[in-house]
């Protein structure tokens, strides 16, 4: 099944424009989910961790810095990074242009609400956001 980023409602709760494209909800995946994120200069995705999943990140454009536990890793176009299960991480656009990345998490948490644990107040914590993989279809 084809999913187009513009057909997916962005989730801005943790910061940035995060769109889960391929997920149990959109394509009935059973092993993980994948999406894209965009961050304006200075914008960030609040610190959190995944108790059940590894996260794989690939930078398409821009300069992003991922802090994993106490280590900061600068990433640019063509760079990729794996965040281990349970590792606290925070992503920030440290460049002058919009940053864009593709992410994949696997394996799936037993239930969607168990997939992320916030360790920092998300920028838009009190705004409603779509469920993971909430397409407009």
Residue 78 located in a structural domain = yes
Where do the DSSP E strands lie in the chain? 17-22, 33-39, 44-49, 54-61, 64-68, 71-75, 80-83, 89-93, 99-106, 117-118
Residue 26 lies in a domain: yes
Judge if the upstream peptide bond of residue 14 is cis by omega within 30 degrees of 0. no
Give a yes or no: residue 75 inside a domain. yes
Position 3 scores a pLDDT of 94
User: What pLDDT was estimated at residue 74?
Assistant: 98
pLDDT of res. 93: 98
pLDDT value at residue 129: 54
Determine phi and psi for 8, rounding to 5 degrees.
-110, 135
Q: What is the pLDDT of residues 30-65, one digit of tens each?
A: 999 999 999 999 999 999 999 999 999 999 999 999
Token reading at 4: 């187009």
Contact 30, 109 (CB under 8 A): no
CATH number of the domain where residue 98 is located: 2.60.120.10
- Alpha-carbon distance 64 to 68, whole Å? 13
Q: What is the pLDDT of residue 130?
A: 53
Q: Tell me which residue range forms the domain holding 27.
A: 17-118
- The structure's pTM equals 0.89
Q: Is 131 inside a domain boundary?
A: no
Give domain status of residue 2, yes or no: no
| Assigned domain for 123 exists | no
- Taking only the tens place, the pLDDT of each residue in 6-38 is 999 999 989 999 999 999 999 999 999 999 999
C-alpha distances (whole Å) from 16 to each of 13, 35, 48, 90, 107 are 8, 13, 14, 12, 24
Percentage of residues of the chain with pLDDT beyond 70 = 91
Please give the tally of structural domains in the chain: 1
**Residue 31 belongs to a domain:** yes
Average pLDDT taken over every residue of the chain: 91
The answer to whether position 7 is within a domain reads: no
Query: Tens digit of pLDDT for each residue in 96-122?
Result: 999 999 999 999 999 988 999 999 988
């Amino acid at each position: 099944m084809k999913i187009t980023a513009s057909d997916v409602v962005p989730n801005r709760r943790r910061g940035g424009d995060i769109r889960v494209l391929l997920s149990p909800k959109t394509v009935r995946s059973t092993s993980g989910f994948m999406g894209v994120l965009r961050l304006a200069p200075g914008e960030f995705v609040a610190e959190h961790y995944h108790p059940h999943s590894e996260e794989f990140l690939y930078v398409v454009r821009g300069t992003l810095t991922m802090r994993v536990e106490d280590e900061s890793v600068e990433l640019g176009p063509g760079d990729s990074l794996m965040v281990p299960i349970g590792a606290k991480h925070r992503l920030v656009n440290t460049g002058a242009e919009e940053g864009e990345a593709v992410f994949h998490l696997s394996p799936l948490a037993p239930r969607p609400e168990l997939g992320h644990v916030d360790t920092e107040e998300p920028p838009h914590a009190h705004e409603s956001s779509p469920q993971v993989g909430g397409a407009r279809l």
